Amino acid sequence: MNFSPKILYISTKMFIFAVDMELRNTQVFQRSITLPNDVQEVPRLAEFIDEVCECLEFDMTLTMQLNLAIEEAVVNVMDYAYPAGTVGDVNIDVLADDEQVKFIISDSGTPFDPTAKDDVDTTLSVEERRIGGLGIHLVRQLMDTIEYARTDGKNILTLCKKRIS
């Protein structure tokens, strides 16, 4: 089969147009907030997450789950990342597209990888269970993926939730 240069040109142009339209239809949503390591700031965090979820048109159940998971992760940073009496920041960046929403929590505090913690044995009684670890267990249950990295002196915890279409 032999195509004339004109037909090939039109086909190539249509392909580029289709790819361009596909890229334009992929919505990218971005929001950020920086909070001091003070648990008195948790209401600002909750308000931020509520606004994000409203913009993304999430239902109340998903909004509550995200609030719980993100609050747990951020409060752990506020309480443990910096030595007592040290002021530090917690950055929360939100990126969303048609497939997922990512909460990227970063701080310059003490290195700590919450994903390295063993799973909590919830079959044990409260008396038999070790103290700690329930927060990350809860985050693991509520989010689809959790990743940790230590980059350029920062703890970076990425929590992802798939969007249901």
Q: Return d(Cα 98, Cα 27) in angstroms, integer.
A: 6
Contact 144, 160 (CB under 8 A): yes
The pTM score is 0.77
To the nearest whole percent, how much of the chain has pLDDT over 90?
64
> Over the stretch 63-74, which tens digit does the pLDDT of each residue have?
999 999 999 999
Encoding tokens for residue 106? 């970063």
Mean pLDDT, residues 49-77 taken together: 96
The answer for residues whose C-beta is within 8 angstroms of residue 9's C-beta and 6 or more apart is none
Q: Return d(Cα 74, Cα 72) in angstroms, integer.
A: 6
Q: Which residue has 């308000």 as its token pair? A: 47
* Confidence band of 131 (pLDDT split at 50, 70, 90): low
78 burial via Cβ count (<10 Å: 0-12, 13-18, 19+)? buried
